[in-house]
Structure 1
Amino acid sequence: MLIKIIVLIIIGIASGVVVAGGLFAFITTIGVINRLATHTDSADKIHLYEDLVVLGATLGNIVILFQPSLPFGIVGLIIFGIFSGCYVGCMAVALAEVTKVFPVFTKRIKLRTGTSYLLLCMAIGKALGSLYQMYFKA
């Protein structure tokens, strides 16, 4: 029985390492951190950003796995929601930029101006859809 538990622990840790490695390789490949550091003129702090991403992922895994009671209240929930939304938005925009979705899309629909409005409307739609799903459990 003890050997079975030890094998399960090893498989669980190995699987977690593989999934985390794949996620961080994906984030590195699409260049989210590099692009944000370039746009904010803080490329000298790139190692700090990378460390914070790893720390955030680790803390997020601990919260999901052990589900501790976090006494942050509604204000903490709002702040967490804002940061989570920023992360998901940056990831989606970086992925779309890497795959060159928007240039191809705007070329096909013959859109000459207003690309920024298109992106803004997509972001607002994503936010409203998420709120609808959260409040109405659709």
Structure 2
Amino acid sequence: MYGKLALCFIGLSSGGVIAAGIFAFLAIIGVFPRLIGVTHTRCHVILYETLLILGGTAGNLMDLFHLPLAGAGTAFLALWGLALGVFVGCLVMSLAETLKALPVLGRRLGLAVGIQYLILSIAAGKFVGAMVYFSRGFGGN
């Protein structure tokens, strides 16, 4: 009995620490401050914080209880995918900007101009790969 309670406590504590670490990582690399600065919505910081907490909690609950999204409808799933794509894009660009990896890559490849086309081609390749993956049913249960 006590063993199961200890395992439950350790599991929940570990999950909380990992979630806190991920959110701290996102904050440190500047995803959220950059988005707030670009959109000029500094007056809505409390709303950003609330939505981040709700989004993280909802994602954890969906993962923990295996809530399916299959019955949600195509329009909802398309909107969900678009939102996740925008988030991942912002995360990647923020990380690349933080690490200053793109200028180094541009110098090593000898690109004087056109780094934006390199980024666009990487994103397009990722998009096409994801479309092929899911259109062929590889992502299904």
Aligned residue number for residue 5 of structure 1? 4
RMSD over equivalenced CA pairs, Å: 1.6
Aligned residue number for residue 82 of structure 2? 82
State the aligned residue count: 137
Shift of 1:17: 0.9
Listed as ranges, the gaps of 5+ residues in structure 2 are none
Give 1:121's aligned amino acid: S
Q: Secondary structure at the match of 1:112?
A: coil
Aligned residue number for residue 40 of structure 2? 41
Distance 2:23 2:68 in 1: 28
Asked whether the equivalents of residues 34 and 46 of structure 1 are also in contact (C-alpha less than 8 Å), the reply is no
Distance 1:125 1:47 in 2: 36
Shift of 1:69: 4.8
Q: Equivalences for 1:11-50 in 2 at 5 Å?
A: 11-50=10-49
Aligned residue number for residue 60 of structure 1? 59
Distance 2:99 2:134 in 1: 29
Distance 1:72 1:13 in 2: 29
Q: Secondary structure at the match of 1:111?
A: coil
Q: Equivalences for 1:74-113 in 2 at 5 Å?
A: 74-113=74-113
Give 1:126's aligned amino acid: K
Q: Secondary structure at the match of 1:9?
A: helix
Give 1:73's aligned amino acid: G
- Quick one: percent identity of the two aligned structures? 38
Give 1:47's aligned amino acid: I
Shift of 1:89: 1.0
